[in-house]
């Protein structure tokens, strides 16, 4: 690996086409939600809670509740207080019972709201699927029409213009424009062609022009869209390691508090004031971490949903969490950092010739050049032509000009005009031989310019002209280079601020790799890399305890994507790359990892912040319920009633109500996530302790006191 040492700013790079993430309809309200915009206002939340109420009732089934140990304890406690309220009815017993059931119901509603957003997106995706047929090519070359559901892996199908691609696969013949708006939301069609890293096509997308032959790579029902549907609606979401660890912690705390509350009853009986089951259950529910227990599932679902809103499909929640701890990012150069095709960036005139001469010659000699390089020369020169001349040049094919195509033998291309003028562009030595062959001379400065471009990793093309009655002469040099996508340096600077090291991986020679790496602003690069080299680098980084993320789009990237902790495949890439990765970027934006890392960190921070808030909440509940239970036996406990609550009964009911309502209040935060800022882990920890630790202590003191002012006026509370 070689360290990049210089930096060069690209000022002439074209702006990329914009992409639009998939809009979706709110699962509760039916409103159109634009990705990237918060959709958790309290007005919308109110409508969502009403709509998801039936789902929350269904989730009261104990077979569902037991998956969350904390909420299962609350469910059992609610059942106990219900029996007690029926056996010995009182306003107090029924008030506690109703709000305990509300606690379980609110937890279910938080999960249902999060799931509802994913199900709405899944419904939108299902609407894009169509029942279609396929023209399957047989081994003898004949074509038969079959249902798309009958296709098997390895089948070859022919797709014509305006036909739906029947399944996921790779283009093996032809090139076509394809409408992929069904999965990306981008209305502009994309080009898919055989060979290279843009051969993968997705079932359900539509061919707009030309025709392609596709080899099917997935079974029916396992297409990319099918997997998207399953993932966004939560059907495939598994608990992540951190989520499992936190569940175990909450379960242990619940068992500890359960034993502590159970041990209080013998002490109370011995003291002559036995506590009713209603009071004991109320104390237990208020002490165990019900807030985070209720919101834990919603936080995980919302993390996946935020990725979908950024047009990233995560194959597992584990990958989302891992993204939050990534320390090294490996990026494939071609098609990821750069556009992948060399583009003309500069027209350099040799001494003694005006810039207009090289501009005109480059334009004319490239008019019939349909390669990406040729088109880029026409685009660059066309902007510098004198007004009024471009139209005259564009008529040359109709006026009898003869265009010379590039060949491996001559390594030149160009045009011969009707007046006898000949233009050529090509490799420096080939053009020099053409010039000298007719008595021309090549200026000494040309070799200097050519060597300078080559040493910077670019490709020089020399342009010459041969006019009637004059010797051929060199006009200048075209600078071709692998163009870095705009904004890369700024995005990589953001990653650096987040503590993530960026490494560019390329098969180019070290000279070219160093030039591109410096221009893109990556921290390091690996030149002349083979798939084995990529794997070795990843394993080396992982051996040091670091989590590695990689973006790529080619089949040769697949092993490294599979080895990485977070493998992000470009949607424009091959099927092999997308199968190996655990995330797919539908926008094919390599710097999307910044958003992925932010969402991963946001998920971890949200879970930690709400856990801190939930545990800190218990402090106020101690001061509310413990004095209420034993103040009659131990009058000295009245000093702990620092909130000055009206009565023991109103204190207990107020604490139970607050315990339920805080779940509803925190649903928007669990869905939106705690804001992440690249300020360092220590500063983030300090900030969250102050906000959610101190806030978790203060909020219930205020909330329980305000509720007590209301509850104390209800019957049976004094």
Is 528 annotated for ligand binding? no
Q: Which residues are CB-contacts of 13 (< 8 A; sequence separation ≥ 6)? A: 483, 484, 485, 486
Is 425 among the annotated ligand-binding positions?
A: yes
Q: What is the DSSP string of 639-666?
A: GG-TT--S-HHHHHHHHHHHHHHHHHHH
| C-beta separation of 26 from 44 below 8 A | yes
Q: Which two tokens stand for residue 163?
A: 């036909």
Question: Is residue 565 annotated as part of the catalytic site, yes or no?
Answer: no
Q: Which residues have C-beta within 8 Å of that of residue 696, sequence separation ≥ 6?
A: 612, 613, 614, 615, 616, 617
Task: Return all residues near 608 (Cβ < 8 A) that are at least 6 apart.
Answer: 688
Closest CA to 610 of 118, 281, 243: 243
The residue from 155, 332, 587, 618 that is catalytic is 332
Nearest to 247 by CA among 184, 301, 294: 294
What's the CA gap between 254 and 655, in Å, rounded? 18
Helices H / strands E in the chain, number of each: 24, 22
Instruction: Report whether 90 contacts 716 (CB < 8 A).
Output: yes
Q: By the 8 A CB rule, do 507 and 521 touch?
A: no
Place of tokens 């297409």: 223
Known binding residue 412? Answer is yes
Q: Using alpha carbons, list the distances in angstroms from residue 507 to 9, 332, 511, 527.
A: 23, 9, 11, 6
Distance CA 643, CA 662 (A): 19
User: CA 511 to CA 532: how far, in whole Å?
Assistant: 21
318 among annotated binding-site residues: no
356 is in an annotated binding site: no
410 annotated as ligand-binding: yes
Query: Distance between CA 220 and CA 153 in Å, rounded?
Result: 9
Residue in 384, 432, 386, 430 with CA at minimum distance from that of residue 407: 430
Known binder of ligand: residue 579? no
553 in a labelled binding site: yes
557 annotated ligand-binding residue: yes
Q: Give CA separation, 665 vs 112, 174, 497, 668, in Å.
A: 15, 56, 33, 7
The first and second tokens of residue 95, run together, are 């008030």
Q: Please state, in angstroms and rounded to a whole number, the distance separating the CA atoms of residues 29 and 19.
A: 26
- CA 188 vs CA 171, 228, 483, 562: distances in Å: 20, 21, 22, 30
DSSP assigned state of 334? B
Q: Is 359 flagged in the annotation as binding?
A: no
Tracing tokens 């062959």 back to the chain, one arrives at: 437
User: Does residue 406 have a known ligand-binding role?
Assistant: yes
C-alpha dihedral (155, 160, 164, 165), degrees to nearest 10 = 30
For residue 343, give the 3-state DSSP assignment: strand
> Is residue 168 part of an annotated ligand binding site?
no
Q: Which residues are annotated as a binding site?
A: 369, 373, 406-413, 425, 553, 557
Q: Which residues are annotated as a binding site for ATP?
A: 369, 373, 406-413, 425
Q: Which residues are catalytic?
A: 332
Q: Which residues are annotated as a binding site for Mg(2+)?
A: 553, 557
């Amino acid at each position: 690996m070689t360290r990049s040492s210089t930096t060069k700013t690209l000022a002439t790079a074209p702006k990329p086409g914009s992409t639009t993430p998939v809009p979706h309809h709110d699962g509760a309200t039916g409103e159109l939600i634009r990705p990237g915009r918060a959709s958790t206002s309290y007005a919308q939340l109110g409508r969502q809670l009403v709509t998801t109420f039936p789902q929350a009732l269904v989730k009261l089934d104990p077979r569902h509740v037991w998956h969350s140990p904390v909420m299962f304890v609350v469910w059992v406690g609610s059942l106990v207080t219900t029996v007690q309220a029926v056996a010995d009815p009182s306003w107090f017993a029924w008030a506690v019972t109703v709000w305990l059931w509300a606690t379980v119901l609110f937890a279910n509603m938080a999960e249902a709201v999060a799931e509802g957003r994913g199900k709405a997106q899944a419904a939108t995706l299902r609407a894009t699927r169509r029942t279609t047929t396929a023209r399957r090519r047989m081994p003898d070359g004949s074509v038969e029409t079959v249902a798309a559901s009958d296709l098997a892996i390895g089948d070859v199908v022919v797709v014509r213009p305006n036909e739906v691609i029947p399944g996921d696969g790779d283009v093996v013949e032809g090139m076509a424009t394809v409408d992929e708006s069904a999965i990306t939301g981008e209305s502009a069609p994309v080009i898919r062609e055989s060979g290279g890293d843009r051969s993968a096509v997705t079932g359900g997308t539509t061919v707009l022009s030309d025709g392609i032959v596709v080899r099917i790579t997935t079974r029916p029902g396992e297409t990319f869209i099918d997997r998207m549907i399953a993932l966004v609606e939560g059907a495939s979401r598994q608990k992540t390691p951190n989520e499992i660890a936190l569940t175990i912690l909450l379960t242990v705390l619940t068992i500890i508090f359960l034993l502590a509350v159970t041990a209080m009853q013998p002490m109370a009986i011995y003291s002559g004031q036995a506590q009713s089951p209603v009071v004991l259950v109320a104390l237990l529910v208020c002490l165990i971490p019900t807030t985070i227990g209720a919101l834990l599932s919603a936080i995980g679902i919302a993390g996946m949903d935020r990725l979908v809103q950024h047009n990233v499909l995560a194959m597992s929640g584990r990958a989302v969490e891992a993204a939050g701890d990534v320390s090294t990012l490996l990026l494939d150069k071609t098609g990821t950092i750069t556009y992948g095709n060399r583009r003309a960036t500069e027209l350099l005139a040799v001494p003694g010739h005006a810039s207009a001469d090289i501009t005109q010659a480059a334009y004319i000699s490239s008019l019939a050049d349909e390669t990406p390089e040729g088109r880029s020369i026409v685009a660059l020169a066309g902007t510098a032509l004198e007004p009024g001349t471009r139209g005259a040049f564009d008529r040359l094919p109709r006026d009898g000009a003869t265009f010379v195509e590039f060949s491996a033998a001559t390594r030149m291309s160009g045009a011969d005009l009707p007046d006898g003028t000949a233009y050529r562009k090509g490799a420096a030595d080939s053009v020099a031989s053409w010039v000298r062959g007719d008595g021309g001379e090549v200026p000494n400065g040309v070799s200097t310019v050519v060597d300078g471009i080559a040493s910077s990793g670019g490709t020089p093309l020399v342009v010459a002209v041969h006019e009637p009655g004059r010797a051929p002469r060199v006009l200048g040099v075209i600078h071709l280079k692998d163009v870095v996508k705009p904004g890369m340096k700024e995005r990589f600077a953001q990653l650096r601020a987040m503590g993530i090291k960026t490494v560019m991986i390329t098969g180019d020679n070290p000279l070219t790799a160093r030039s591109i790496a410096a221009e893109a602003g990556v921290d390091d690069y690996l030149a002349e890399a083979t798939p084995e080299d990529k794997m070795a680098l990843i394993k080396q980084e992982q051996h040091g305890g670091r989590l590695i993320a990689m973006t790529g789009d080619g089949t040769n990237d697949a092993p490294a994507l599979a080895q990485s902790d977070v493998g992000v495949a470009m949607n424009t890439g091959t099927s092999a790359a997308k199968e190996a990765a655990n995330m797919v970027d539908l926008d094919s934006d390599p710097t999307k990892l910044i958003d992925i890392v932010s969402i991963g960190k946001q998920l971890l921070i949200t879970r930690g912040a709400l856990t801190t808030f939930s545990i800190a909440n218990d402090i106020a509940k101690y001061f509310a319920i413990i004095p209420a239970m034993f103040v009659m036996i131990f009058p000295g406990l009245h000093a702990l009633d620092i909130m000055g609550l009206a009565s023991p009964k109103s204190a207990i009911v107020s604490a139970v109500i607050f315990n339920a309502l805080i779940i509803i209040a925190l649903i928007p935060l669990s869905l939106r996530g705690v804001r992440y800022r690249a300020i360092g882990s220590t500063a983030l920890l300090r900030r969250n302790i102050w906000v959610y630790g101190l806030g978790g202590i203060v909020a219930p003191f205020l909330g329980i006191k305000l509720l007590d002012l209301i509850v104390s006026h209800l019957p049976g509370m004094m």
